[in-house]
């Protein structure tokens, strides 16, 4: 049994916060996730270090820039590779202008520094993947599992050889060396109930281990990791609702949630760890996702 290999993207200059995963079949090789274009050189160096001179598949769990931002760049570097993507996300890899503009509303002037742009993909290089579809690597398969909530166009992928599941952001984030899960709840698509249902979908797929894009194998069992991730989603919902009851100001609610989270993680998260966690999904972005979710529920 050949375990996947983690290639650290060293996103934003930090180790152990965003990985890509090299999966080798008998005949074909896949890279799960691409990382952002700003750190694509680290991914290419990692592939060269592993002796990879040909990629057959670039598989992205969803199209957010830290997961698929370098897909177009890597596709140019490996012209035989096809890019597997959810049908809702596919058009935004062909024409990434709306994706880039949407992210710009969150990151503002820091966009180029953080993400480095995004190269468009020719439509013929894409493989549209639906729930249950299989990517054949020759004696080894990756099966897509629909896991929305974080984003409506999200898949997790189950490796049949190891039983490992690549969960993208469906469980949130837990960077290397940090004993905690933080939800990943960006606007505009985050939906709490759907995210919790997706965690149950992962459980029902019966994987042997969970591999997070942020970052690597979960330290706990599948059941424990799923429970921790669900508890974190519910806990943040409680904090945001409590803050939202007294103010609708995003910065004020964010400050309240941050204070609660720091108390919850006291002794487990030092300043360096807190900085690394913020690089994967920030307090403000998460709270913004919850606020929009509660607004939509209220208006409905």
The neighbouring-strand residues paired with 127 are 84
pLDDT tens across 175-218, in order?
A: 999 989 999 999 999 999 999 999 999 999 999 999 999 999 99
Q: Does the pLDDT at position 106 exceed 90?
A: no
Residue keyed to tokens 């759907």 = 194
For residues 38-52, one letter each, b for 16 or more C-beta atoms within 10 angstroms of the residue's C-beta and e for the rest, the string is: bbbebbbebbeeeeb
The ranges assigned to domains in the chain are 5-226
Interior angle at CA 132, CA 129 and CA 133, nearest 5 = 40
Pick the CATH number of 5-226 from 1.10.1070.20, 3.60.90.10, 3.40.640.10, 3.60.15.10: 3.60.15.10
pTM higher than 0.75, yes or no? yes
What average pLDDT does the structure give for the chain?
96
The band of 1, judged by pLDDT with boundaries at 50, 70 and 90, is low
* Percentage of the chain lying above the pLDDT 90 cut: 96
User: Which one, of 64, 80, 82, 79, lies nearest residue 123 by Cα?
Assistant: 82
Distance (Å, rounded) from C-alpha 267 to C-alpha 288?
A: 27
The residues with which 155 forms a beta bridge, in sequence order, are 146
pLDDT tens digit sequence for 39-63: 999 999 999 999 999 999 999 999 9
pLDDT, tens only, 249-284: 999 999 999 999 999 998 888 999 999 999 999 999
């Amino acid at each position: 049994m050949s375990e996947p290999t983690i290639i650290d993207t060293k996103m934003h200059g930090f180790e152990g916060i965003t990985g890509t995963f090299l999966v080798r079949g008998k005949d074909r090789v896949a890279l799960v996730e691409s990382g952002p274009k700003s750190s694509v050189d680290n991914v290419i160096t990692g592939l060269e270090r592993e002796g990879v001179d040909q990629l057959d598949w670039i598989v992205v769990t969803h199209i957010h820039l830290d997961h698929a931002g370098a897909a177009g760049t890597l596709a140019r570097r490996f012209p035989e590779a096809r890019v597997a993507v959810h049908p809702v996300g596919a058009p935004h890899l062909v024409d990434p202008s709306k994706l880039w503009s949407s992210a710009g509303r969150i990151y503002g002037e820091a966009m180029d520094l953080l993400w480095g742009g995004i190269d468009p993909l020719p439509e013929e290089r894409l493989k549209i993947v639906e729930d249950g579809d299989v990517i054949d690597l020759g004696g080894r398969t990756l099966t897509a599992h629909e896991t929305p909530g974080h984003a409506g166009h999200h898949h997790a992928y189950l490796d049949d050889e190891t039983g490992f599941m690549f969960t993208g952001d469906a469980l949130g984030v837990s960077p290397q060396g940090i004993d905690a899960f933080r939800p990943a709840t960006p606007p505009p698509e985050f939906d709490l109930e759907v995210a919790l249902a997706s965690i149950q979908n992962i459980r029902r797929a019966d994987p042997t281990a969970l591999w997070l894009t942020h970052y690597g194998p979960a330290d706990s069992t599948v059941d424990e990791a799923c429970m921790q991730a669900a508890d974190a989603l519910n806990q943040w919902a409680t904090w945001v609702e409590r803050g939202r009851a007294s103010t609708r100001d995003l910065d004020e609610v964010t400050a309240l949630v941050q204070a609660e989270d720091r108390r919850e993680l006291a002794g487990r998260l030092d300043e360096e760890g807190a900085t690394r966690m913020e690089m994967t999904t920030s307090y403000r972005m998460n709270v913004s996702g919850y606020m929009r979710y509660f607004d939509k529920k209220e208006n409905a």
